C-alpha cells in the first residue's frame, strides 16, 4: 500500500455532507415568482404557476391565484419560463489559478449552472473551493468532486503528475493507484477522507478490481463514477459491477473489441465497423438498464473538426449510441468535460451539450433540459434535493425569457438565476 495516511484529509471529509451555500448563510428573503410557466422533466410544461421560495427551498408550486398577501418579494413571472438550475455533469475546474477558478465558477453560475460534478483534479484545490462556496465566501455552482482510483500505468500521465505536485509518485490521497497488491478497504477510506462525493474509476483496472472498489465505496457511502472503458475490464463488466455513472459514450465501443493493455487507446475505437445499433452495443444498453446506470455521453468534448477520420466519426457514433440508450430508458446526464471559459458573451458549454443531444441524438428540447437538470442530479446522487421544481427541493432555478421546449437554444435566454433561494443575477 503506497498511499499517504488518511488523517491528512479527514477535515475535508466534512465537506462531502456540507449543505449548499444558502443554508450556510443568513436566509434570503422569501420570494414569490408569480404567474410563471414552470418547465421540468417530471412535470413537463405547467403554465400560470406561482412558485414560493422560503429558507432556500421551494415551498410550493401551485396554479396562480391572483394577488394574496405575502410577506416577501414578488417577481413577476408572466412571459417567463422557470426551469431547474442546470447541472454540468462533467467538469474539471480545479486546475488553473485560484483567481481564474473563482472567475469561472461565478460566470458558470450566472450562466445558469447551479451544480457541477468535477471528474478529477487536485482535491486540495477542489476542497478549498468547496469550503469557500459552502461558506459563501465565493459564489458558484455547488461543487461535487472525486478521488481517483486508477491502475498504476496512469501514474505516468502528465495530468496526474501536475495534479499531485508535492506528493511522491502514487502517494496523493486523491489519486490512488490500484492493483492486486492494494488494500482496497484502506484505499477507499483514504479517498473518502478527501471530501470527495465519489471515487472515479479510471485506467487499467480489471473486472475484479472494479467490483472490489465499487463494493467498498458504496459501503462507505461514496458514489462510483467510472469511465466507460477501463481496460482490461469490459464495459458490461464495469456496468454489472454496479457503478453509478459511466462517462464518454463512444468508449463503450470496446465491448466489441479485444481489450488492449494500453488505456490511452480508449478514444480510438473502430467507429467505422462496429455499429452503434448492433448486437454488442445492445448488450451494453441492456446492462445500463439492468443496473440503473446513468450515462454521461460528453458529446461536447468530441465535437471538433479534425483530419483524423476516427475523431470525425467518434462524435456521430457516440450520439447514435446515446440516442439508443435514451430510447431504452437509460438516464442521460449532460456533461461537457469542459465547463467553458469566462469570456464576454460566452455561456457555459452545458448549453452546447443540450444542443448536441437535440441535434445529433434525437432528444426533444425538454429531454435535453431534463438531462441537464434531473439527469445531472441523478449522476451526482442528489436528485432528492435538486433537478426538478417541486416543494421541498433546493431553490436552484433559472428564469428564461423564451420557451426552452420549442427551441433548446432558448436556455441561453437567461432572465435570472436563483441559487438556494437567493437571486444571483
**Residues near Zn ion (CB under 5 A):** 119, 337
The H or E element that residue 84 is part of is: strand 81-84
- Find the shortest distance in angstroms from Cβ 298 to Zn ion: 7
Question: Would you say 115 or 405 has its CB closer to Zn ion?
Answer: 115
Question: Would you say 219 or 265 has its CB closer to Zn ion?
Answer: 265
On the CB side of 274, CA atoms within 13 Å amount to 22
Question: Would you say 244 or 337 has its CB closer to Zn ion?
Answer: 337
Give CA–CA dist 77/56, Å, rounded.
19
Q: What count of residues does the chain have?
A: 425
Q: Which residues pair with 230 in a beta bridge?
A: 233
Question: Would you say 245 or 399 has its CB closer to Zn ion?
Answer: 245
Are the C-beta atoms of residues 122 and 92 closer than 8 Å to each other?
A: no
Give CA–CA dist 48/37, Å, rounded.
6
C-alpha cell at 81: 419560463
- Find the shortest distance in angstroms from Cβ 191 to Zn ion: 18
- Find the shortest distance in angstroms from Cβ 90 to Zn ion: 6
Question: Would you say 119 or 281 has its CB closer to Zn ion?
Answer: 119
Paired sense of beta strands 422-423 and 414-419, if any: antiparallel
- Find the shortest distance in angstroms from Cβ 116 to Zn ion: 12
- CA 302 from chain centre, in angstroms, equals 17
Question: Would you say 33 or 379 has its CB closer to Zn ion?
Answer: 379
- Find the shortest distance in angstroms from Cβ 119 to Zn ion: 4
Three-state SS at 383: coil
**Residue matched to cell numbers 463512444:** 250
- Find the shortest distance in angstroms from Cβ 120 to Zn ion: 7
C-alpha cell at 95: 486546475
Give CA–CA dist 82/307, Å, rounded.
42
Amino acid at each position: 500500500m503506497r498511499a499517504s495516511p488518511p488523517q491528512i484529509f479527514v477535515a475535508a471529509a466534512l465537506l462531502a455532507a456540507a449543505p449548499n451555500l444558502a443554508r450556510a448563510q443568513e436566509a434570503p428573503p422569501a420570494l414569490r415568482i408569480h404567474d410563471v410557466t414552470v418547465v421540468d422533466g417530471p412535470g413537463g410544461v405547467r403554465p400560470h404557476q406561482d412558485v414560493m421560495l422560503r429558507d432556500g427551498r421551494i415551498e410550493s408550486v401551485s396554479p396562480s391565484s391572483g394577488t394574496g398577501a405575502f410577506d416577501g418579494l414578488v417577481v413577476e413571472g408572466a412571459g417567463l419560463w422557470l426551469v431547474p438550475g442546470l447541472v454540468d455533469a462533467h467538469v474539471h475546474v480545479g486546475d488553473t489559478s485560484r483567481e481564474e477558478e473563482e472567475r469561472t465558477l461565478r460566470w458558470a453560475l450566472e450562466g445558469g449552472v447551479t451544480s457541477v460534478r468535477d471528474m478529477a483534479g487536485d482535491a486540495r484545490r477542489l476542497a478549498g473551493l468547496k469550503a469557500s462556496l459552502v461558506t459563501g465566501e465565493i459564489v458558484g455552482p455547488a461543487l461535487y468532486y472525486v478521488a481517483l482510483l486508477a491502475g498504476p500505468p496512469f501514474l505516468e500521465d502528465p495530468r496526474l503528475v501536475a495534479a499531485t505536485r508535492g506528493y511522491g509518485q502514487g502517494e496523493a490521497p486523491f489519486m490512488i493507484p490500484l492493483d492486486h497488491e492494494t488494500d482496497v478497504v484502506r484505499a477507499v477510506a483514504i479517498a473518502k477522507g478527501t471530501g470527495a462525493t465519489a471515487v472515479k474509476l479510471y485506467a487499467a483496472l480489471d473486472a475484479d478490481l472494479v467490483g472490489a472498489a465499487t463494493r467498498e465505496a458504496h459501503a462507505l457511502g461514496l458514489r462510483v463514477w467510472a469511465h466507460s472503458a477501463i481496460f482490461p475490464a469490459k464495459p458490461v463488466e464495469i456496468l454489472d459491477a454496479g457503478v453509478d455513472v459511466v462517462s464518454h459514450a463512444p468508449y463503450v465501443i470496446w465491448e466489441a473489441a479485444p481489450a488492449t493493455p494500453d488505456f490511452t487507446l480508449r478514444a480510438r475505437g473502430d467507429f467505422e465497423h462496429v455499429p452503434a445499433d448492433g448486437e454488442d452495443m445492445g448488450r451494453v444498453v441492456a446492462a445500463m438498464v439492468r443496473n440503473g446506470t446513468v450515462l454521461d455521453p460528453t458529446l461536447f468534448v468530441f465535437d471538433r473538426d479534425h483530419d483524423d477520420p476516427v475523431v470525425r466519426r467518434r462524435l456521430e457514433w457516440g450520439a447514435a449510441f446515446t440516442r439508443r440508450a435514451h430510447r431504452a430508458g437509460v438516464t442521460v446526464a449532460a456533461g461537457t468535460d469542459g465547463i467553458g471559459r469566462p469570456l464576454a458573451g460566452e455561456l457555459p458549454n452545458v448549453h452546447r451539450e443540450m444542443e448536441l443531444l437535440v441535434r445529433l441524438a434525437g432528444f426533444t428540447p425538454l429531454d435535453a433540459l431534463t438531462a441537464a437538470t434531473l439527469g445531472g442530479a441523478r449522476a451526482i446522487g442528489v436528485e432528492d434535493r435538486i433537478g426538478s421544481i417541486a416543494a421541498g427541493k433546493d431553490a436552484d432555478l433559472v428564469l428564461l425569457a423564451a420557451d426552452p421546449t420549442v427551441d433548446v437554444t432558448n436556455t441561453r435566454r437567461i432572465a435570472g438565476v436563483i441559487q438556494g433561494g437567493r437571486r444571483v443575477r
